[in-house]
């Protein structure tokens, strides 16, 4: 008989909303958090560029089952742009490809140009992105000097606000759907203004239900680890899907649902995803996520192992 491979790390479940530092890739942040928590399983929920800082939710253990809900969630960013300089990647981490005068760029021109980025728009992703072409990330082609034809993607920009305009720099706040590249917005805006532009600072302010008020830094993780209160930094698994409506099940319905059977739930929404919660007297447990079927029953889709009291 072959020996089974030992699984390294602790069974830790929950969410840490990391304040990703600048100069660190999302994958590096995951590995560092995994080591600090000595966790068996950790994953991020949508990468941030090395230049970017801010909200990077990390899902541990059973919470990884719900990463998809954060991957597809809306995001909010604050970006500082430098006008007059265009770069290969649209941010400060790549070579300058063109410099132009910013003379004639006024507040009115900026605000008028920003109007074309509101609502549903088609965006062509940067070559410096993690989108794959034939199994290989686009940025690897870009580093080899190879240009790959990319199809535009439909995104929604719910709002784009001008926060500051000083000399050759502007600061924007962007609230958008998943898959939006702020670097591309900066580059396209610079072209509309006729001077070029790139991102010099980018901070994610929100990802789904999480905001800056939820952030935990690596320094705080180090301190908590030294003080033996590391797991107190973990938000509950249910926090990853708190933006979805909840349905409450009695003990009998919860039993059948755990067996994989759809159940009838009074007052459930007519469609979409729902949180599954078992209620008994004054106690409530998070079971996972379900989906409303065409006949109105609730079908289990993502269930956690065990029960998590709310």
Q: Which residues are catalytic?
A: 49
**Helix extents (H) in the chain:** 26-37, 67-71, 107-114, 138-143, 182-193, 218-226, 251-258
Give 246's strand partners: 275
How far from each other are the two terminal CA atoms of the chain, in whole angstroms?
43
Tokens of 114: 């920003």
Tokens of 204: 């994610």
Taking the CA atoms of 112, 114, 115 and 117 in sequence, report the sign of the dihedral they define.
Answer: positive
Q: How far is CA 278 from CA 243, 245, 288, in A?
A: 18, 14, 10
By the 10 Å C-beta count (0-12 exposed, 13-18 middle, 19+ buried), 163 is classed as exposed
What whole-number distance in Å separates Cα of residue 76 and Cα of residue 61?
26
Q: Across 104-236, where does the E strand assignment appear?
A: 119-123, 132-133, 136-137, 153-166, 169-176, 197-207, 210-211
What whole-number distance in Å separates Cα of residue 245 and Cα of residue 35?
34
What whole-number distance in Å separates Cα of residue 82 and Cα of residue 61?
41
Tokens of 123: 């965006």
What whole-number distance in Å separates Cα of residue 9 and Cα of residue 37?
8
Strands 273-280 and 246-249: parallel
What whole-number distance in Å separates Cα of residue 221 and Cα of residue 229?
9
């Amino acid at each position: 008989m072959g020996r089974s491979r030992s699984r390294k790390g602790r069974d830790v479940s929950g969410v840490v909303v990391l304040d990703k530092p600048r100069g660190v890739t999302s994958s590096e942040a995951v590995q560092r958090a995994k080591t600090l928590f000595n966790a068996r399983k950790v994953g991020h929920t949508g990468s941030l560029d090395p230049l970017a800082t801010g909200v990077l939710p990390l899902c541990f253990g059973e919470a990884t089952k719900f990463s998809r809900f954060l991957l597809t969630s809306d995001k909010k960013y604050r970006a500082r742009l430098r006008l007059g300089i265009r770069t290969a990647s649209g941010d400060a981490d790549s070579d300058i490809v063109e410099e132009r005068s910013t003379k004639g760029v006024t507040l009115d021109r900026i605000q008028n140009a920003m109007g074309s980025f509101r609502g549903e728009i088609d965006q062509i992703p940067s070559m410096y992105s993690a989108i794959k072409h034939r199994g290989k990330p686009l940025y690897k082609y870009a580093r080899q000097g190879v240009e790959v034809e990319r199809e535009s993607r439909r995104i929604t920009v719910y709002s784009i606000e001008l926060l500051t305009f000083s000399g050759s720099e502007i600061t924007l706040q962007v609230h958008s759907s998943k898959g939006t590249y702020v670097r591309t917005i900066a580059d396209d805006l610079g072209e509309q203004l006729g001077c070029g532009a790139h991102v010099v600072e980018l901070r994610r302010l929100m990802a789904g239900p999480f905001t800056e008020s939820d952030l935990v830094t690596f320094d705080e993780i180090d301190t908590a680890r030294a003080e033996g209160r590391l797991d107190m930094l973990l938000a509950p698994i249910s926090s990853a899907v708190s933006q979805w409506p909840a349905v409450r099940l009695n003990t009998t319905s919860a039993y059948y649902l755990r067996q994989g059977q759809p159940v009838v739930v009074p007052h459930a929404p007519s469609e979409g995803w729902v949180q599954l919660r078992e209620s008994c007297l004054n106690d409530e447990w998070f079971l996972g996520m379900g989906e409303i079927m065409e006949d109105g029953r609730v079908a289990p889709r993502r269930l956690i192992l065990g029960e998590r009291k709310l």
